Amino acid sequence: MRYLFKFLFRLFGWGVSGPAPTHLKKAIWVVCPHWYATDFFIGIGSRSEIGVNIGFLGKNSLFKWYSAWFFKALGGYPVDRSKANNLVQVVANTFKANDSIHVALTPEGTRKDVSELKTGFYYMALQAGVPLVLVGFDYQRKLVVFGGVVEPTGDYAKDIKPMYDFLLTIQSPQKEYLKRYQKTGEVPVK
């Protein structure tokens, strides 16, 4: 199936830019901006292109009786966002229990415009002791751009600033949180 997704990724004119850190044994791949339903297929195609088996967390409403098999076969894990279930700790423990694991997350949490990022992705990486890989979907250039690796230190604003700076280079509509950062240069801290 990997070759099919790689073929389709290229057929639709997409490519990758920047060195993908394929040498990492564990990482959380932070994907922004998340505007379109097609982001899922672009993500599946790009992971096929770089040859890294990256799973993903998806809202549980995607995992219906008729579609769960499909999303799970592609590496999906359903997440119930309506309950407080300590997802950060569950994911961190999963990373600690595996020798090699990669998970993609969209810290915006939705395709809608948002005024701030969710912070769970950061604390998952911090607690698991794994890096964040910055990934941008550049629709104007049809590129999945790899923007480097961030090692969380516990200083959220300092650690996330390179991600905001990277996202400003992506040619895609900007969400409210990024527009505010562009004006002020400040990363909001919860």
Cα torsion 111, 115, 184, 145 to 10°: value is -20
Instruction: Give residue 61's pLDDT.
Output: 80
What whole-number distance in Å separates Cα of residue 79 and Cα of residue 56?
10
Task: Please indicate, yes or no, if residue 11 is contained in any of the structural domains.
Answer: yes
> For residue 85, is pLDDT > 70?
no
What is the extent of the structural domain holding 137? 2-184
What whole-number distance in Å separates Cα of residue 150 and Cα of residue 160?
8
Task: Please indicate, yes or no, if residue 189 is contained in any of the structural domains.
Answer: no
Task: Please indicate, yes or no, if residue 126 is contained in any of the structural domains.
Answer: yes
pTM of this structure: 0.88
Least-confidence region, from 13-27, 56-70, 120-134, 156-170: 56-70
Number of domains within the chain: 1
What whole-number distance in Å separates Cα of residue 78 and Cα of residue 10?
28
Instruction: Give residue 82's pLDDT.
Output: 65
**What integer best gives the mean pLDDT of the chain?**
88
- 22 or 115, greater pLDDT: 22
pLDDT one-digit tens code per residue, 87-110? 788 888 888 988 999 999 989 888
Task: Please indicate, yes or no, if residue 98 is contained in any of the structural domains.
Answer: yes
Instruction: Give residue 60's pLDDT.
Output: 77
Task: Please indicate, yes or no, if residue 190 is contained in any of the structural domains.
Answer: no
- 50, exposed or middle or buried, with CB in 10 Å at 0-12, 13-18, 19+? middle
> For residue 84, is pLDDT > 80?
no
Task: Please indicate, yes or no, if residue 140 is contained in any of the structural domains.
Answer: yes
pLDDT one-digit tens code per residue, 138-190? 999 999 999 999 999 999 999 999 999 999 999 888 888 999 999 999 888 76
Binning pLDDT at 50, 70 and 90, where does residue 22 land?
A: very high
Binning pLDDT at 50, 70 and 90, where does residue 33 land?
A: confident
- 166, exposed or middle or buried, with CB in 10 Å at 0-12, 13-18, 19+? buried
If you average pLDDT over residues 67-83, what whole number do you get?
A: 75
Instruction: Give residue 87's pLDDT.
Output: 79
Instruction: Give residue 111's pLDDT.
Output: 84
Task: Please indicate, yes or no, if residue 113 is contained in any of the structural domains.
Answer: yes
Instruction: Give residue 112's pLDDT.
Output: 87
As a whole number of Å, the CA-based R_g of the chain is: 16
